[in-house]
Structures are given as C-alpha cells and as structure tokens.
C-alpha cells in the first residue's frame, strides 16, 4: 500500500508541478535509489509543437529530479486513432502512472477505465473529460485550464474595457 501511495504522489507532483516548480531553476528533490518508477505521458500533440515540447521537457526534467523514467508519446500529426494506439501501448507497458490529454472522450473512455481498473493511476492533462462526474473517466486530477471559463472572463474584461464603444 505504501508503494502505491508513493507512486501516486510522485505522479501528481511530477505532472502537476513540473511546469511551475522546475521552470524557476535549482530546486532539489530527494532521489530514492531503491525505488524506480516509470510513467508515460501521452498527448494529442507532437513535440514539433512548441507547447508540447515544453511539456515533454518539463516531464523529462521532473523525471530526472525524482529518479523516474518518463516516456513521452505524441503523434507526428493529430490523429485520434494514433492517440488511442499510443495510450494502449503505454498501458501495455504497465507503468506506475499515466498522463493523458483526453481529446476524444468516446475513444479514450474504455482504455483509460481499463488502465485505472488495473491499478494504473491516471492524470488528465490539457484536455479533461468534460462530462459530469457520474460519467467522467475517474482519473486522479486534471492539470490545465478551463478554456470555456477563460473565454467568459476574457469577454467580460473586453466588455468592461470597451464600455463606451459597446456593440448595439
């Protein structure tokens, strides 16, 4: 049980904080020489996209800090079928944790539920399962923003800024 809690905590720490924690520089993490975990990050974007290149580097840096293997899988070009295949490949590797952008809920529902049922902790990154909690894939946590709410806030701010010139 302690090993399971450790691997889940490391997974959450690595992928929820790597962009913030390691972007600033010299933080030190205690490495465990006795335990070596393996995590997969599977996204719908390839490393040629600057956004995903940063995610891959952050995951790699965090893996080095925590003495974990981090395997990043992303397609050369966007393809739901390739994403599903990569998720299934990652699950077959029996990782200690899996981070996935859930770009297509229907396509990823079955493999991710299967991974979770087999004991693989899953984190959603960048794209969550937006269904209500009774239908949502039961991943541990979502790392990202809610683009819908960001759009609402941006619209409110624009309307405040341009009060005098509001469209009729």
The answer to whether the beta carbons of residues 103 and 44 sit under 8 Å apart is yes
Q: What is the pLDDT of residues 36-72, one digit of tens each?
A: 899 999 999 887 889 898 999 999 998 999 899 999 9
Q: What is the pLDDT of residues 65-92, one digit of tens each?
A: 989 999 999 988 889 999 999 999 999 9
Give the closest residue to 99 by CA, choosing from 66, 148, 60.
60
Backbone angles phi, psi at 141, to 5 degrees: -160, 155
All residues at 6 or more sequence positions from 116 whose CB lies less than 8 Å from its CB, including other chains: 122, 137, 138, 139
Q: What is the pTM of this model?
A: 0.76
Beta strands, E only, 13-96: 38-42, 69-73
Q: What is the pLDDT of residues 123-160, one digit of tens each?
A: 999 999 999 999 999 999 999 988 888 899 998 888 88
Q: How far apart, in whole angstroms, are the C-alpha atoms of residue 11 and residue 129?
A: 19
């Amino acid at each position: 049980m302690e090993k399971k809690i450790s691997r889940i905590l490391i997974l959450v720490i690595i992928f929820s904080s790597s962009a913030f924690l390691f972007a600033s520089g010299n933080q030190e993490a205690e490495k465990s020489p006795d335990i070596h975990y393996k995590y997969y990050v599977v996204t719908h974007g390839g490393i040629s996209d600057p956004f995903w290149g940063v995610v891959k580097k952050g995951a790699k840096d965090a893996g080095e800090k925590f003495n974990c293997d981090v395997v990043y899988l992303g397609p050369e070009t966007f393809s739901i079928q390739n994403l599903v295949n990569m998720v299934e490949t990652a699950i077959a590797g029996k990782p200690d944790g899996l981070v996935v952008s859930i770009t297509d809920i229907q396509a990823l529902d079955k493999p991710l539920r299967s991974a979770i049922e087999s004991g693989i902790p899953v984190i959603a990154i960048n794209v969550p399962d937006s269904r209500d909690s009774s239908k949502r894939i039961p991943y541990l946590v979502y790392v990202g923003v809610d683009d819908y709410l960001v759009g609402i806030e941006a619209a409110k701010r624009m309307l405040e800024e341009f009060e005098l010139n509001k469209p009729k």
